[in-house]
Amino acid sequence: MTCLSTIIVTAFYFALKKENVLPIYQPANVNVELVDNSIQHVTKYHKINDFSLVNQNGKTVTQQDYAGKIYVADFFFTTCQTICPIMTKNMAAIQKEILDNDDIMLLSHSVTPEIDTVAQLKRYAIEKGVIDSKWNLVTGDKKQIYDLARKSYLAVKSQGNHDYGMVHTENFMLIDKERRIRGFYDGTNEEDIKKLLEDIETLKASYE
């Protein structure tokens, strides 16, 4: 009887533990409108590709700056008057919650790099309360940003033209230390932001 009880308790423990494991998203699991045709068939091993972009301080930011970090990524543009102000406000709220944790960062990519120069990003960063050590706003080569959005983060819709036009979405993506996508969230929705913060805690705990 004792042995049976132990088995039941152990099974229950692992069932509970399993519930707290975040999924790992693959291109084949995501809305096809957000995924480049070349990778829509991929069902495993998907990771965020290497990148080299420039932040609000003119500093080159690469995947090495996020090595060993959990981070939240999104796509925006500084002149957006619709969903971006809400997304940025909510990202700032996340920044406040993670301020004392060196293992967690934020990364926002401009989808209009031709407009969002370093100077423009700096003005925006100051206005929105961006803390440089926690949150990079990045600009750079438009094709690279397009490829990151469509082939790495699975986050934007293509405009279907030849200049790498992007229709950004409200998505926030949670990225783990292995550069895998662990969650998608509506960056304009307060309940989703709460869920994102909870999932950050779950992901943190998985590394302890």
DSSP for 19-34, please give it.
Answer: HTPPP---GGGS-GGG
What is the C-alpha separation between 37 and 127, in angstroms, rounded?
Answer: 37
Binding-site positions for Cu cation read 80, 84, 168
∠34-140-196 over CA atoms, to 5°? 45
Binding-site positions read 80, 84, 168
Residue 121: count of CB within 10 angstroms of its CB: 24
